[in-house]
Structure 1
């Protein structure tokens, strides 16, 4: 019981730190999109990759972005345009990070297949279901943040949400490829259970770490470019 309490407190501390880091990134300016992307991927690597954890990460990112932008607006009214741009970049950074999570899941499958390994049908099916809900999770967090915001920040977030729904997200674009790969792998596994020697979530987390640290620059650049075209 004590271990569970300590673990919960540790997770809360990590989420609070993520929120504070995002808030500071907005306050300092610079490449907000890239900073948000890296901080989000780092948080994903440190936590389990279930929808609940991803939701907490996304909520912390958006709360930090909201608070940082609000702080700018309180300091000076002429910061309105800057605050709007940084909110937009923060949302784009989160979108890109989630898209890279989806791509890392796909790459984990492909790497395992290349080594003649397979994950269990049960894990593949569960992960596919989680991924199918990923874009909705992202949009819901943006929507909830917009509903709780006021003034310029609320207007900006609502505009971004409408644009994402109308034109799609980097997450949605990546999921088309990722989900197709999952469906193929599930079909090839059949009803049997195979021991892969590793867990899909761990393999994905390891790849996310490589993306965040720049080891897998191809994925980072390609998905970031896709997100910037939205």
Structure 2
């Protein structure tokens, strides 16, 4: 019994230390740009090569880009608290009906995953992702969440961040992106190692058309002005 109590005590201390470290790291990244991410490290280890990434502040990114990712990935981004409970409920219902475990991830959750976690659809990873997302949304303003997301998201094999993606796919800086170019980049986010923004497949063009429509329905760049 004494041994069990000791193990439990150390387990509680370890869990507390991990939680404290996570909170401190999230708080630090509110002000300091992350030097790397879990996904970038995984790419470098798997491929034994570097990545293309050039950090830019949100004010140097065309407002069409945050609008495009909101339209494509998370239309309640500006109002939810890190999790979209309606989307989660829909995904759980679909899973119970025999479908695969769907993402239902907000932009905040994707930011958490890219920074701290790994790919996959296990309940453990999704649970950690949700916990990190709530912490991020509680400690960061929406502007910072969008800025970090656009700078760490993968837009192609070894291409991370919107500046590197704009240069690689269109030969321009992120500040110059047009509505269509922004939609093309947003369209490849679900699988950037398969889809190509520079040479879109028919499926990607269909997504671009849908995203452009959603961008218009959301009110254009007026929607994202609070982020700037």
TM-score between both structures, scaled by the size of structure 2: 0.26
Which is helix-richer, 1 or 2?
1
